[in-house]
Amino acid sequence: MLLHKALGAALACLLALPKAAAVDRSKFRTCEQGSFCRRFKTWIKRPESEKALWTVVPSSQAPLSDGGYSFQIKHVHEAEPHLNLRVNTYASGTVRFRLNEIDPVHPRHEIPAGDVVTEPPPQAAATKVETGAATTVFSFTSTAGANIKAELKHSPLGLDVYADGHLVQSVNAKNLLNFERYRKPKADFPPDSATPGDVVIDAAAHPHGLDKNGLWEEDFGGHTDKKPRGPASLGMDVTFSGDVPALFGLPEHMTRASLPFYDEPYRFFNLDVFEYEDNEPMALYGAVPIIWAIQKFGTKTLTSAFLWINPSETFVKLQRDEGSSTSGPAHAWFTSESGVLDIAVFAGPSPASVSGQFHDLTGAAPMPGLWALGKHQCRWNYMSEKDVATVDASYDKYDLPYDVIWLDIEHTDGKKYFSWNSANFPTPEKMTADFSAKRRK
C-alpha cells in the first residue's frame, strides 16, 4: 500500500510539471507548403500518366571519355531533344544515371567534382553494350563477382537494374519523371515546347489543375523567395522489386532504423531543429538521401540501394502497393527544387557490396587526427573570450584533460558563419594561439 501511495504521489508530481515546449512547426515547411513538392504531388496524379513524355533517341548514343555513354532525350511535345542522359557503369557494381539540359537558358547547378562523388570517378566497368529498338542493355561483372545488367528503356525513359538475374530496382517504373527546364522571364513554357493549353510538358506546365503559386516567387515564414529563372524542379520514382520487408537509410531523421511509411514525405533540408520530436519525417541536421532495401526472391535474399545526388531541398515519399503494408515491392519518389537529376543504383547484391559501392562512389571517411579522438568540450553557448578562457582555466585547475573546445554560434556576428563578434571576441587570433600553445584546438 505504501508503494502504491508513493508511485501515485510521484505520478501526480510529474503531471503537475509544466509541459515541455515542442518544436515550432511554423518554422519548417512541409511538402504542401513548398510549391515544387506540391506541384509534384499533382503531377503524379495527372490523367494518362502512363503515356511516354521523355524518350531516348537511340541514334544519339555516343561513348564518353570516362567509360560511360551519352544519349539525347526528346520530349514528345518538343521539336528537338533538350535533355542529355549520361549512363555510367562502375566496376564495383554501381549504375549511375544523369539528366541535364542541352544548351539551357541558364546553366543548372551541378555539384563540383570531388565534392560528393570522388574525383577521379570510380573505375569504369568492362561493359558489354547491346542496343535494340526498345532498350539499350549494359552488362558487366562486378569486382565482387556479381553479374550486373542495366536495361535502359527508351520509351518512356526508364532503367531496370538486375543483380545475378534478379530485377532489384526499376527507375521511373511508374513514369513519374519530371524535369522542369528553365524558362525565359515569366514564360509559361520552356523554349521549343508546344504551347496549346491542353499539352502536358512538365509539372509546371500542364492542363490538369496546375497550381501556379510559387513558380516565380513564393513566401514562407515572412520571407520571399524570388525565382528569376522560374521553376526548375525535378523528380522521379524508383521501385525496389521482390518481397521487401523493410527499407533503411534516409538519414538524418528521428525515426526507427526500419523506415516508417509516413503520409508526409521525408524532407531533406539541413536544419538545426530545437526540441525535435520522435517518429517524424521532418528534416534535421544531416542529409544523405540514400535508401537501402532488403529484397527476398524465394529463398534468396539480396540487398540493393538507391542514392539521389542533389543538394537542393528534397522530399522523399515511401509507398507500398495498395492493400499491402509490410510485404511485396516497395516504392519511393524523390523530388528536388533545382539542380540536375543524378542517381546511383547500388546493385549489391549483399550489404557488404552495397557499402563498398557507396564508398567507391563517394569516397572513404578520412582518418581522423589524434586530436579528434580526445575529449571535446561544447555547450550552447560561450558568450565571450573571457567565458571561454574561464572554462579552459577550470580544466587546468582540476587537472582534467581535454583537446577541443567548440564555440557553437554566439561568437559570430549576428549568427553569420565565418564571422566574429568583434565586441565579445575582439582577438580571435590570440585566443586560438593560446589554445594552440597548450596543444588544444
- pLDDT tens sequence across 54-83: 999 999 999 999 999 999 999 999 999 999
Sorting pLDDT into bands at 50, 70 and 90, what band is 209? very high
pLDDT confidence of residue 21: 58
pLDDT confidence of residue 283: 93
Sorting pLDDT into bands at 50, 70 and 90, what band is 325? confident
CA 382 → CA 149, 179, 421, distances in Å? 56, 46, 12
CA–CA dist 45, 263 (Å, integer) = 16
In the predicted model, what is the mean pLDDT of residues 313-330?
Answer: 92
Residue 435 has which C-alpha cell? 589554445
Across the chain, how many H-helices and E-strands are there? 5, 22
Residue 266 has which C-alpha cell? 521525408
CA–CA dist 272, 370 (Å, integer) = 28
In the predicted model, what is the mean pLDDT of residues 136-165?
Answer: 98
Radius of gyration (C-alpha) of the chain in whole angstroms? 26
> Does the pLDDT of residue 85 top 70, yes or no?
yes
Residue 59 main-chain phi, psi, to 5 deg:
-70, -15
Residue 370 has which C-alpha cell? 589524434
pLDDT confidence of residue 2: 47
In the predicted model, what is the mean pLDDT of residues 44-56?
Answer: 96
According to DSSP, the residues that pair with 57 across neighbouring strands are 72
Q: Are strands 404-406 and 376-378 parallel, antiparallel or unpaired?
A: parallel
CA–CA dist 312, 5 (Å, integer) = 56
pLDDT confidence of residue 23: 83
CB contact set of 25 (below 8 Å; sequence gap of 6+): 282
Query: CA 308 from chain center: how many Å?
Result: 5
| Secondary structure class of 352 (helix, strand, coil) | helix
* H or E element at residue 389: helix 385-397
pLDDT confidence of residue 363: 96
Question: What average pLDDT does the chain have?
Answer: 93
> Does the pLDDT of residue 30 top 80, yes or no?
yes
Residue 297 has which C-alpha cell? 526472391
Nearest alpha-carbon partner for 381 in 405, 403, 400: 405
Task: Estimate the crossing angle of helix 385-397 against helix 428-437, to 10 degrees.
Answer: 10
Q: What is the pLDDT of residues 344-377, one digit of tens each?
A: 999 999 999 999 999 999 999 889 988 899 999 9
Residue 22 has which C-alpha cell? 515542442
- Does residue 302 contact residue 353 with C-beta atoms inside 8 Å? no
pLDDT confidence of residue 4: 53
Q: Quick one: the chain helix, strand, coil %, rounded to 5? A: 15, 30, 55
pLDDT confidence of residue 15: 47
CA–CA dist 312, 270 (Å, integer) = 10
- Does residue 346 contact residue 320 with C-beta atoms inside 8 Å? no
In the predicted model, what is the mean pLDDT of residues 389-396?
Answer: 96
Sorting pLDDT into bands at 50, 70 and 90, what band is 26? confident
